[in-house]
Amino acid sequence: MGGLLEVMAERGYEGATIVAIAKAAGLRSGLVHYHFETKRAILVALVERLVETVDQRFKSRLQGVDGTPRERLDAWIDAHLALGPDADPDAVAAWIFIGGEAIRQADVRQIYQRAMTSRISGAQQLVRDVLMSEGRSTQKMAELAALLVAAVEGAYQLGATVPDELPSGFAAPYVQRVLRGLIDSEPRVKGG
């Protein structure tokens, strides 16, 4: 999968051949073909691996909290944005590259959209849980979740492209504070 990224960086997804991917990965193309029928299958596996990496970070952050909806939401933000020993800048760069290719390539867009749809849905559920647990209106749930995912994707983009321009470790705590403020500004529902 790393071979695909290396070749994509040089030639784009369209120019990535199985032979070039295998060479970049230090493998024989027959071995790559044995495990992956097409380069699209390699890309699908890479996207799944990147998503699983973030999901594992989220699960590990849930292990040290009581599990209130706000703590779960903060853990989700930390899993996506916090620095630490399990941070993976290469995975972030890979995700940004895949997102860029999704703009140009319908094949990649389909894979990327599926992953992002799942990510947005998960964010909506977490935001909804916080709003409901505090007796707040859920009317703006989709907008708040969209803002959250956009902030994550924006932090990834900037972190991968201009890391020296950003204060180290700013993203997770500030996204948490902004979202907390927006959630707190949502009206309480009667009887809540």
118-137 tens-digit pLDDT: 999 999 999 999 999 999 99
Confidence of residue 10 (pLDDT cuts 50, 70, 90): confident
Q: How far apart are CA 32 and CA 46, in angstroms?
A: 14
CATH no. of 1-37: 1.10.10.60
- The answer to whether residue 192 scores a pLDDT higher than 60 is no
- When the candidates are 3.90.1300.10, 3.40.1190.20, 1.10.357.10, 3.90.1150.10, the CATH number that belongs to 43-184 is 1.10.357.10
> Nearest 5°: phi and psi at 67?
95, 20
DSSP string, 49-92: HHHHHHHHHHHHHHTTS---HHHHHHHHHHHHH--STT--HHHH
Regarding pTM above 0.85, the answer is yes
- The answer to whether residue 63 scores a pLDDT higher than 80 is yes
Largest Cα separation within the chain, whole Å, is 65
Higher pLDDT pick, 190 / 6: 190
Decide: helix, strand or coil at residue 188.
Answer: strand
In the chain, residues under CATH classification 1.10.10.60 are: 1-37
In the chain, residues under CATH classification 1.10.357.10 are: 43-184
Token representation of residue 182: 């927006």
